[in-house]
Structure 1
């Protein structure tokens, strides 16, 4: 069987990616004149949408490198047949990271009234958190977080491509190669834990409600973006299969990707329920205020109630009911539909996480937000497509490649 090693970007794929990026740029321009110059809200509506989309899509593509490093530490081999897909997705961390960095720094430099901790005005709670919530720490930690994601991700991709044209001469060389991969994967995982699983969601998102906090917030954010990241990997794997690539990837691998989407949808729900239940049960005003605009009836200022429960149904009930069956996880059409639905559902989750805090009395979701999201989707398509053309689609000469080819569940 002739193996198609290199990806050639179809004209239709390139057209769609460019068109979506064009929609995104146009949406940002129009949105700036509609909302960015609003003196009443100081452009908060405009910057909130940029914050939501940039942070969400950055964390989603960065989850692809987390998947690579986690399976590396687990000495997993099943994913090797399609490993170049998450590697290519992780390349998108570079352009999205730069955009997100610009947006996040602009939020504290331009000050469109997103973060109230910038002006404590004698507020004892905000002043008590000033060692953490201050411009200097925020900017330095943001640069370090995104910068090391890019650098460490590049190193992992470089290690993967070392063997493409340089086969390992003996078993001892293979052990040394695996050990080196494990060391760098460990470094990435540690940094990922110090950022995505802890500090970054506190700084970028939770500090919008600077008086409120949840010890589960970072794990909740991680679960949301990781399951979306697995969904994105699934979409690209199925697309490449339909284009005649990834000959060694079969329904067994698709099945396992479906398991990841199912399992982490349940994990996200567990965190969603735990956070909500603990706050509801304690019934402490400074904690329940977070859910006032999200789950109470409209007569009690719950403007986001419908959106909140709609998002919950998409992110929990749909994966539970559809992906529970073995056959559903092996059907290309079903897993693709669910992958798109999961990404959309968690995009909505990020929307209510940000906008229900900034605009608790009314939902502002409109075409502007979808247009900005389309731009980021187009950028991901463009970045991933270009990355896939730079290296063979199979991780040649890797010690675990045979294990992936004969993988069976």
Structure 2
């Protein structure tokens, strides 16, 4: 089955990119008329909003590749139908990871260090009034050269495994050779080992180091569970969408039921890490750690607890098999969860810089520009591409997959 992409979809997302740019220019025009044009490049809100959107859409792509690799190494038969969808969603990995790396580089050379305060030299000078003893003790890890080397390793590794797995999947579907199936299995193992190793350090570097005085022993697992949920939820949304427009015929209620089960169990896992992290700090009652929650509770109107509604309460609806097998309900729940995890990422980063919720034109324009680019790249990769991995040894099993409990 070859999917011929309607030009209207690409035009729509190209329009969202243009609209986002217009919003950004409108915001910048305010500085132009106030003769503060140079302030644009020093505007912390600009960099944080781009940074949040970049990590968010990157997490969807890398989460999709992670879920694909899990299916490969578990030799699951039911999911072969959606393997090409997972491959296409992960196509944003090279763009997203390079974008994040560019933002990190800009922060390194920027005189005001808009995102990573710990990069300022005066914090490590004993003669400075801003000398920070805590950061001085962490300098062995938090220093710019080592930080840059680590992040190059993260980015290049993710890009390598994306192209590697994508290439092997392509040859598996055109060569009729089982050797590519074995290569897909082994490379998926290597990627999971690689990402399991870097995900903790990546979460420390990209998010937790923004507030270097605060740390969490569970943060790596918390971040990883959010990435996996983002990937599975978006796989579900794209699969249902393609089914609704009539180009994904073999995707059935049994596949939806299994994806819904993964979303439900993954959301419970994320909620477990959320609760465990909060419980440790609440019980320990250590002031420098509890400040993280106090700010989000008082100044951000309990955003830390309110985000449990889309990320924990709403997914509980998937206990019902009827909801998992109803495409409209599953689609709506998936979209709500996806919004909930953006709120989660916003909650992790934005309160570190501001004393009130500040969601405005910068955040909206960043979502339109980066999100529009994400969808445009996805749809461009779907164009004229087969939606089925027909030469996979388990393809027939997946095509005829039926859950007998339905």
TM-score scaled by length of structure 1: 0.90
| Paired position in structure 2 for 1:366 | 360
**Which one is further off, 108-117 or 344-353?**
108-117
Contact 1:164–1:392 (CA<8 Å) still a contact in 2? no
Alignment of 1:98-177 (within 5 A): 98-110=98-110, 111-119=112-120, 120-121=123-124, 122-168=131-177, 174=178, 176-177=179-180
* C-alpha deviation, 1:51, in angstroms: 1.2
Contact 2:59–2:230 (CA<8 Å) still a contact in 1? no
Distance (Å, rounded) in 1 between the aligned partners of 2:40 and 2:368? 28
Of residues 163, 178, 182 in structure 2, which corresponds to 1:179? 182
Q: Deviations over 1:172-198 (max 9, x none)?
A: xx3x433321211111112211222x1
Secondary structure of the residue that 1:228 maps to in structure 2? helix
> C-alpha root-mean-square deviation of aligned residues, in Å?
2.0
Indicate how the Cα distance of structure 1 residues 38 and 219 shifts in structure 2: closer, same or farther if over 3 A, else same. farther
Q: Unpaired runs of 5+ in structure 1? A: 169-173, 296-301
| Paired position in structure 2 for 1:92 | 92
Secondary structure of the residue that 2:307 maps to in structure 1? helix
Indicate how the Cα distance of structure 1 residues 252 and 37 shifts in structure 2: closer, same or farther if over 3 A, else same. farther
Indicate how the Cα distance of structure 1 residues 39 and 19 shifts in structure 2: closer, same or farther if over 3 A, else same. closer
Distance (Å, rounded) in 1 between the aligned partners of 2:319 and 2:308? 17
* C-alpha deviation, 1:163, in angstroms: 2.8
The reply on whether 1:317 has 2:317 as its aligned counterpart is no
Q: Deviations over 1:189-236 (max 9, x none)?
A: 12211222x101101110111011001111111112221111111111
Distance (Å, rounded) in 1 between the aligned partners of 2:114 and 2:362? 20
Aligned length: 390
* C-alpha deviation, 1:349, in angstroms: 1.0
Of residues 375, 379, 387 in structure 1, which corresponds to 2:373? 379
The reply on whether 1:60 has 2:48 as its aligned counterpart is no
Distance (Å, rounded) in 2 between the aligned partners of 1:104 and 1:213? 20
Distance (Å, rounded) in 2 between the aligned partners of 1:24 and 1:98? 20
Q: Deviations over 1:311-361 (max 9, x none)?
A: 1211111111x21100101111111111111111110111111111111x2
* C-alpha deviation, 1:33, in angstroms: 5.8
Q: Deviations over 1:148-190 (max 9, x none)?
A: 111111111111111322223xxxxx3x433321211111112
Contact 2:81–2:250 (CA<8 Å) still a contact in 1? yes
| Paired position in structure 2 for 1:399 | 393
Indicate how the Cα distance of structure 1 residues 27 and 216 shifts in structure 2: closer, same or farther if over 3 A, else same. farther
Secondary structure of the residue that 1:245 maps to in structure 2? coil
Contact 1:228–1:339 (CA<8 Å) still a contact in 2? no
Distance (Å, rounded) in 2 between the aligned partners of 1:395 and 1:77? 12
Alignment of 1:323-342 (within 5 A): 323-342=318-337
* C-alpha deviation, 1:62, in angstroms: 1.0
